[in-house]
Amino acid sequence: MSKSITDCLDALMQINGAQAVALVDYESGMLLGEAGAGVDMELAAAGNTEVLRAKMKTAESLKLNDAIEDMLITLGRAYHVLRPVASNKGLFFYVVLDRQKANLALARRTVLDVEGSLKL
């Protein structure tokens, strides 16, 4: 079932431990939508755009001929998941999870499902 940006962000906020979520344009670093609280998502989106771009550039330089499924940044209190949207090149979902509350495997699966359902 196809979902709008708002529907996708709402679904991501249902992940146990979700603190903040966003859909980001990694060409510009701009937010297309966000939900949650406690994180300056505009700043985080811009910074994590650089992280994703760097990994994509490195993969291209190494001629890996493969696609990034997702990227995980593990902090002391949080997980940050970045997942490019396969059907909409140039976009990625950014999810911030409370490490004490989130089940990382289930969260990654939910982000995968939501990413596949996005319809623009």
Mean pLDDT by 10 residues, the chain (120 residues): 90 98 94 95 94 94 93 97 94 98 97 94
The pLDDT score that the predictor gives to residue 120 is 87
| Residue 104: half-sphere exposure toward Cβ, Cα within 13 Å | 14
Query: Is residue 56 within 8 Å of 68, Cβ to Cβ?
Result: yes
Give the predicted TM-score (pTM) of the model. Answer: 0.94
pLDDT in the model for residue 42: 94
Q: What domains, with CATH codes, occur in the chain? A: 5-117 (3.30.450.30)
Per-residue model confidence (pLDDT) at position 1:
65
| Distance of alpha carbon 27 from alpha carbon 45, whole angstroms | 11
Q: Comparing C-alpha atoms, which of 68, 62, 61, 64 is closest to residue 92? A: 68
pLDDT of residue 77: 97
Task: For residue 118, give the DSSP letter.
Answer: B
Pairing relationship of beta strands 71-74 and 30-36 according to DSSP bridges = unpaired
Is 54 in contact with 62 (CB distance < 8 Å)? no
